[in-house]
């Protein structure tokens, strides 16, 4: 582009099947940051399964047209009125949770992830499938310098939400943990769990994912219907299928918790109460707090976590989504404008 004031964006006008949906490439003047906002030039935006569910309509649209993308790494090019603590040129990470009201009972209790008025990047406000994005300055993150732009992008949703899922599951250091599904979020979660000294069992249908799990330190790998060598102290499901929930319950020890790391499941099947008895529990994982994000990014730097990325130009976002659905990505898809 010859004019730095101009920028491209991919707009979703109507969700639908990937064979028919179109992400319209539009160009116009860069957006202006409002009060309390930053304007970032996007350096990288990782593609999440939630983006896929929004594009296909599995998640109902909040606003159309919308620019998807909520794992955004960018560099500050303008400050909105009242912004402090940020400078032009600094790098920032834009996450899924765009803003909260800060006044509701959930926010006052430190549970802003449950705020009824929360808005989300790429769902309520335009996201990072673009050259430029605006974001609330108090909801973006300073990023560890040890991660490059492309490497940092997958941390901003898959990483943080996977970390929260581990906490929700109640897994203790050294415990036996099950991970059901082994996509981008699980590949980061296993590294955290191994850092905590956990013995990790991974359940997946994919031979490629089984090999990745073993390479990242899984003590056991198998299919969803298989039983690990010993009952699990906690488990997390990443697969967006309700049938996996019942399979995971069958692997738990008495008193263990299953955390469901998904914003959308295809359906929840009926299952025998015996799977839930003995004080086994099921908890959903809903978004994350800014404290979760800061805590995780600090831990990611200290471990340090390995992120894997397969880069796509901005115009190939639909192809990245198709490969995500097909399970044919070599790593996390990352759009690089």
| 109 class by beta-carbon count within 10 Å (0-12 exposed, 13-18 middle, 19+ buried) | exposed
Average pLDDT over all residues of the chain: 95
Residue 222 has pLDDT above 50, yes or no: yes
Count of Cβ atoms closer than 10 Å to residue 224 Cβ: 19
240 or 164, which is more confident: 164
Phi–psi pair at 249, nearest 5 degrees: -60, -35
* Neighbour order of strands in the sheet with 220-222: 220-222, 199-203, 176-180, 232-237, 252-260, 281-284
pLDDT tens per residue across span 59-111: 999 999 999 999 999 999 999 999 999 999 999 999 999 999 999 999 999 99
Q: How confident is the model at residue 1 (pLDDT cuts 50, 70, 90)?
A: very low
Using DSSP bridges, classify how beta strands 119-120 and 97-99 pair: parallel, antiparallel or unpaired: antiparallel
Among 79, 109, 93, 188, residue whose Cα is nearest residue 148: 93
Share of the chain above pLDDT 70, in %: 99
Average pLDDT value for residue range 314-336: 94
* pLDDT on residue 2: 42
**Domain locations in the chain?**
6-154+307-336, 160-284
Q: Kindly write down the DSSP assignment for every residue of 4-46, as one continuous string.
A: TTEEEEEEE-S---TTT--EEEEEEEPPPP-TTEEEEEEEEEE
Query: Is 237 within 8 Å of 258 (Cβ atoms)?
Result: yes
Give the separation between CA 90 and CA 324, rounded to whole angstroms. Answer: 31
Q: Which conformational region is residue 224 in: left (phi greater than 0), alpha (psi within -120 to 50 degrees), or beta?
A: alpha
Q: How confident is the model at residue 3 (pLDDT cuts 50, 70, 90)?
A: low
Q: Which two tokens stand for residue 228?
A: 């690990």
Residue 256 has pLDDT above 90, yes or no: yes
Third-level CATH fold of 6-154+307-336: Quinone Oxidoreductase; Chain A, domain 1 (3.90.180)
Residue 136 has pLDDT above 70, yes or no: yes
What pTM was estimated for this model as a whole? Answer: 0.94
213: DSSP letter:
H
11 or 4, which is more confident: 11
* pLDDT on residue 268: 87
Give the separation between CA 241 and CA 261, rounded to whole angstroms. Answer: 11
Q: Long-range contact list for 275-282, CB < 8 A, 24+ apart?
A: 275/246, 275/249, 275/250, 276/249, 278/254, 279/254, 279/255, 280/249, 280/252, 280/254, 280/255, 280/256, 281/256, 281/257, 282/245, 282/249, 282/257, 282/258
Average pLDDT value for residue range 119-125: 98
Lowest-confidence region among 143-147, 209-213, 237-241, 265-269 = 265-269
| 4 class by beta-carbon count within 10 Å (0-12 exposed, 13-18 middle, 19+ buried) | exposed
Using DSSP bridges, classify how beta strands 37-46 and 72-79 pair: parallel, antiparallel or unpaired: antiparallel
- Residues paired with residue 283 on neighbouring β-strands, in sequence order: 259
**CATH 3.40.50.720 assigned to 160-284:** yes
Give the separation between CA 73 and CA 92, rounded to whole angstroms. Answer: 6
Q: Which two tokens stand for residue 233?
A: 């102290």
* pLDDT on residue 229: 97
Using DSSP bridges, classify how beta strands 281-284 and 220-222 pair: parallel, antiparallel or unpaired: unpaired
Share of the chain above pLDDT 90, in %: 92
* pLDDT on residue 21: 82
């Amino acid at each position: 582009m010859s004019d730095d004031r101009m920028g491209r964006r991919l707009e979703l006008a109507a969700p639908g099947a990937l064979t028919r949906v179109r992400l319209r490439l539009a160009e116009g003047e860069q957006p202006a940051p409002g009060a309390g906002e930053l304007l970032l030039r996007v350096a990288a935006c990782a593609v999440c399964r939630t983006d896929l569910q929004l594009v296909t309509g599995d998640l109902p649209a909040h606003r159309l047209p919308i620019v998807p993308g909520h794992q955004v790494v960018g560099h500050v090019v303008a400050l909105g009125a009242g912004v402090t603590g940020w400078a032009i040129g600094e790098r920032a990470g834009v996450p899924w949770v765009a803003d909260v009201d800060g006044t509701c009972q959930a926010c006052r209790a430190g549970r802003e992830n449950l705020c009824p008025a929360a808005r989300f990047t790429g769902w309520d406000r335009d996201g990072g499938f673009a050259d430029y994005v605006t974001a609330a300055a108090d909801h973006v993150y300073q990023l560890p310098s040890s991660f490059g732009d492309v490497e940092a992008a997958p941390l901003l949703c898959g990483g943080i939400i996977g970390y929260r899922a581990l906490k929700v599951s109640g897994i203790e250091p050294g415990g036996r943990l099950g991970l059901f599904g082994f996509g981008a979020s699980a590949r980061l979660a296993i590294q955290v769990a191994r850092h905590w000294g956990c013995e990790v069992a991974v359940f997946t249908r994919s031979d490629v994912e089984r090999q990745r799990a073993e390479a990242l330190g899984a003590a056991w790998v198998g299919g969803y219907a298989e039983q690990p060598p010993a009952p699990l102290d906690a488990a997390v499901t990443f697969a967006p299928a309700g049938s996996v929930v019942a399979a995971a319950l069958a692997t738990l020890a008495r008193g263990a918790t299953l955390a469901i790391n998904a914003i959308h499941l295809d359906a929840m099947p009926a299952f025998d109460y015996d799977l839930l008895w003995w004080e086994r529990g099921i908890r959903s994982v809903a978004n994350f707090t800014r404290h979760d994000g800061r805590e995780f990014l600090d831990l990611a730097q200290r471990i340090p976590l390995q992120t894997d990325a397969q880069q796509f130009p901005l115009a190939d976002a639909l192809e990245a989504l198709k490969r995500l659905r097909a399970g044919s990505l070599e790593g996390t898809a990352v759009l690089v404008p």
